[in-house]
A and B are shown apart, each in its own frame.
Chain A
Amino acid sequence: MSDAHTHPNYIKIWYWLLVLLAISVVGPMFEIPALTIITAFGIAIVKSYLVAAYFMHLKFEKAIIWFLLTLSIILLGVFFFGTAPDLMMTEGDQWIDCIADKSCVEQRL
């Protein structure tokens, strides 16, 4: 069983999660892409923090778990930023956009 700590008010956190869900649904109705990104993904990050910190008790967990999870997310970032240039930066002498010029299809790459 979990180490001794006071249980937070779970119902209150659930209410907040529902409010945030409502905002993430209403946000795109304004049809402003920047606002949609904030209300969809920004709110998703806040919601995931509330779930992780209070429902998963990460707020009361030992530092080693924070380290483990942060390391996983950093490695995921390495995966993204390590491969993104290969796919997206196709300008310059060293890059060939083989999808656009269809040469990779001919080379069966």
Chain B
Amino acid sequence: MHGPIATHRRATGIPTGRLAVWWLLASEIFIFGGLVTCFLLFKLNGSPGFEDAALTSVTAGAINTFVLLTSSLSIVLAHAAIENGDRVKTFRYIWYTIGGGLIFLGIKTYEYTGKIVHGHVITENLFWSFYYTMTGLHALHVIGGMVIMALISFDIRKGYNFQRVELIGIYWHFVDLVWIFLFPLLYIANF
């Protein structure tokens, strides 16, 4: 059989490439989960500064949630399309997803600028330290996912490594999933 070994080797009954992505995500649970845990510990302990969650824009956060949920839909549709062998549709859906990532980053940049010009910088208090660390790390994951998706899309156009659409999809859904929790933590729970 041709192609990378991750495509067809199944020591656990799961293609090795997909198993590797799940392992990666298990480690990501600790990275983001550790941050969220520390955030909750400080917030529940009544540390000063957390009332600043009232200063974040729920509208911007909600729009970004909508954008990421929609981009999750487009990448899963890309996966369904490649399983039907439709490379053109897959390529298009992947680029819709990248577009979603770009809109997300654009709104995030707008938000960051607004906060920084009002003096809410990373060193202001614990809330803003967590805000910039968590959303910044999340944004880096968005950028990483977009770059990988772009590379995969060109592979698809050339006609190889089809299995990678599913793999990047699983990763992208996780990025979406992290945001699903960051949204209520940083934007809604301002009490």
Contact = CB atoms under 8 A, between A and B. Distances in A.
Interface of A: 1-2, 7, 10-11, 14, 17-18, 21, 24-25, 27-28, 33, 36-37, 40-41, 43-44, 47-48, 51-52, 55-57, 61-62, 64-65, 68-69, 71-73, 75-76, 79-80, 83-84, 87-88
14 contacts: A21-B66, A24-B188, A28-B58, A37-B189, A40-B188, A44-B184, A55-B169, A56-B169, A62-B13, A64-B13, A69-B26, A73-B29, A73-B33, A79-B37
Contacts of B126: none
A51 B62 CA distance: 17
A35 B181 CA distance: 17
A65 B13 CA distance: 11
B156 interface: no
B22 A2 contact: no
Contacts of A33: 191
Contacts of A1: 82-83, 162-163, 166
B interface, by DSSP: helix, strand, loop or mixed? helix
A10 B41 contact: no
A44 B183 contact: yes
Q: Which of A21, A27, A55 has the most CB of B within 10 A?
A: A55
B132 interface: no
B188 A36 contact: yes
A93 B18 CA distance: 52
A75 B34 CA distance: 10
Q: How large is the interface on B (under 10, 10 to 19, 20 to 34, 35 or more residues)?
A: 35 or more
Contact of A2 (B12, B79, B177): B79
B177 A51 contact: yes
A28 B188 contact: yes
A65 B14 contact: yes
A87 B45 contact: yes
A62 B73 contact: no
Contact of A55 (B26, B33, B76): B76
Nearest to B22: A65
Given A25-B62, A36-B189, A76-B30, A68 B22 contact: yes
A2 B41 CA distance: 39
A51 B176 contact: yes
